[in-house]
Chain A
Amino acid sequence: MADLPGGSTQLFVGLHLIHEVTSPQAFSGLRDKGLTVACPERTVATVDHIVPTTSQARPFADPLAEEMLSTLERNCAESGIVLNGIGSGRQGIVHVIAPELGLSQPGMTVACGDSHTSTHGAFGAIAFGIGTSQVRDVLASQSLAMNKLKVRRILVDGRLSAGVSAKDLVLHVIRTLGVKGGVGYAYEFAGSAIEALSMEERMTLCNMAIEGGARCGYVNPDQTTFDYLKGRPHAPSGAAWDAAVDWWRSLATDAAAEVDDEVVFDATAIAPTVTWGITPGQGLGIDECVPTLTMLDPGERPIAKEAYRYMDLQPGTPIAGVPIDVCFIGSCTNGRLSDLRAAAAVARGRHVATGVKAFVVPGSEQVARAAEAEGLDQVFSAAGFEWREPGCSMCLAMNPDRLEGRQISASSSNRNFKGRQGSASGRTLLMSPAMVVAAAVHGRVTDVRTLALHSAS
């Protein structure tokens, strides 16, 4: 929009999303500077990180959580910002609700004080996480200072095999390129495998671009994008719809367009992928073993050593068969209806193993109600999973859902960092929702492809 002194670019923010964790200090900062919200209609709020997933009755049992939500409510009311609160029918994880409301659209710049904002790149938007000072800047000016990114095309050809999902694909990409491989880049996901993905699968993919170090990831808009958007509350309608589709089509990068870098992957070669360590880049195909130090680049060895110790997994251990205590399905990565369907397809007619705690947290109120309408909640309950209310839950444990002590979880979330799931010594294995169910049923990491799917009754 404009070049700023110092070489950065002033970027207009088309859609600003806020939640209770990273916004209160931004509103305080705004007030400290004597400023007000410039474009309240371009900011949309929800509450997700701190909400309990059992009883959501107010006031919350945790006074800090209650204070955060009431602060958000007050800030939104004073500034004229729409808050999709609990019970509104539209509450949920910010990266689940904005797409389902049709707010995230091709050609937009989307910013949110949350690193997984990269999710919205699935629509052909430039979407990235920002810090709280930048949230304040966006509230004040509907814009922010940003440095230009290079583009790396992640070209994935072929089709993913049965039992292999977008989650496996992105874990495979991060494992290959590393957690800092994407620093300085936007990841453009392209190729026949990407074109074949549904919108929700594309969201899973773009969601985890940040775990590969890329500030944002995107997929060029196509008919799949338009079909998803049509009829959603904030999508254009009538004559504007046709004009919108024309504009959106014009935004897609030409396949021959020059990019700064390109890496090619073969989708057919990707297996269900599971992390074994303490970064999302420490991934393994389900048939593989925890790597020995000699298999790793010298630069990766110190963190691998730390991971052996923290995870209590010895080099050479097959990842299949590792015992699991807790199984979590949900998060902004894999808490959408298609994720729950994929999980339910494996859970149907089976039961969670003795001693395993397993729960399913839908990504939003809309997802929850749609899943219940299909009877998925019944499938999960019959299989021994708890069916919860929407929220971020145990992805980052800013709420009552957390690991205890040295518990090890099979989780459909996005980060396996030390202490991430609420216990300073808790351990996380990242995998797809279907793989989480397979782990829950056997009480250990299991190749979901060895479990026959029961058709819906």
Chain B
Amino acid sequence: MFAFPNGVVQRISGTALIIQGEDIDTDRIIPARFLKCVSFDALGDQVFADDRLELAGEHPFDQERFKGASILIVNGNFGCGSSREHAPQALMRWGIRAVVGVSFAEIFFGNCLALGIPCASASPDQILAIQAFVNDDAARHWTLDLEEMALASDQDRWDVTIDAGPRDMLRSGRWDATSQLLDNSSKVEGLMNRLPYLNNFATR
């Protein structure tokens, strides 16, 4: 197992695996009963637990050929529903370091960003083609490059997009927002001294 993301996130390399379907919600990524925990540590084994149970070993996260994959290829509105960070935490602890898909639910995207996991987008047709390539050759090595904005293997190359803000945060290693927010603590104080609802609605 590689270390969790830390610092600059510029290129993610490894094999890929695919999860197909629109609107895959976070209850499916990590069912609620596994949220009964005070740490994220055990979540890696529980990712997609119910779907995996249903498919009895045939789920992509159980298939031997996808073992060790670090790039997840998904379809549209991936990660919709609950705000649980347990979902990207579970994916990360299984080994996922980047997600490429048609689109992502916003809270899920932000939760991934806060962990240093890029969510890059490509068109529906491109994603279907990439998923077909991964399915045909699970051993193929891919690199998601945030500088080149591409997902490439030694045989092909696909343009991907990610908004400039998150991209810069990942590439500069500033995706962990806490310190930036704390840098502005005097501005927070200033605002708190002005906001009507924190000052008994006194007119200034």
Contact = CB atoms under 8 A, between A and B. Distances in A.
A90 interface: no
B22 A299 contact: yes
A64 B31 contact: no
A66 B201 CA distance: 40
Contact of B201 (A71, A144, A236, A397): A236
Interface residues of A, number: 80
Interface stretch (A92-100, A126-134, A359-367, A435-443): A126-134
Given A141-B181, A143-B181, A398-B32, A215 B27 contact: no
Given A14-B195, A180-B80, A213-B105, A143 B184 contact: yes
B107 A142 contact: no
A179 B181 contact: no
A65 B80 CA distance: 26
Interface in B146-204: 163-166, 168-169, 172, 174, 176-178, 180-182, 184-185, 187-188, 191-192, 195-198, 200-203
Which of the listed residues A180, A184, A422 has the most CB atoms from chain B within 10 Å of its own CB?
A180
Contacts of B33: 397-398, 422
Contacts of A445: none
A115 B80 CA distance: 10
A6 B114 CA distance: 13
B50 A424 contact: yes
A17 B77 CA distance: 27
Contact of A6 (B81, B172, B184): B172
Contacts of A180: 23, 76-77, 80, 103, 105
A107 interface: yes
Nearest to A112: B83
Contact of A147 (B32, B165, B172, B178): B165
Q: Is the interface of A mostly helix, strand, loop or mixed?
A: loop
A28 B41 CA distance: 12
Contact of A243 (B22, B180, B191, B203): B203
A37 interface: no
A288 B119 CA distance: 38
A303 B53 CA distance: 20
Interface in A160-210: 179-180, 183-184
B37 interface: yes
A331 to B, nearest CB: 13
Contacts of B129: none
Interface size class for chain B?
35 or more
Contacts of A133: 85, 111, 114-115, 176
A241 B54 CA distance: 57
Nearest to B184: A2
Contacts of A134: 110-111, 114, 177
Given A131-B107, A398-B33, A424-B53, A107 B197 contact: yes
A105 B201 CA distance: 12
A243 B181 contact: no
A85 to B, nearest CB: 17
B110 A131 contact: yes
A21 B33 CA distance: 11
Given A1-B184, A8-B165, A147-B163, A415 B81 contact: yes
20 contacts: A1-B184, A1-B191, A2-B187, A5-B169, A5-B180, A14-B195, A24-B38, A113-B83, A114-B82, A129-B83, A131-B110, A133-B115, A134-B114, A183-B105, A240-B201, A240-B202, A279-B25, A303-B21, A396-B82, A417-B81
Interface of B: 21-23, 25, 27-28, 31-33, 35-40, 50-51, 53-54, 76-77, 80-86, 88, 103, 105-107, 110-111, 114-115, 163-166, 168-169, 172, 174, 176-178, 180-182, 184-185, 187-188, 191-192, 195-198, 200-203
Question: Which 3 pairs across A and B sit closest by C-beta, in order of nearness?
Answer: A7-B165, A133-B114, A131-B111
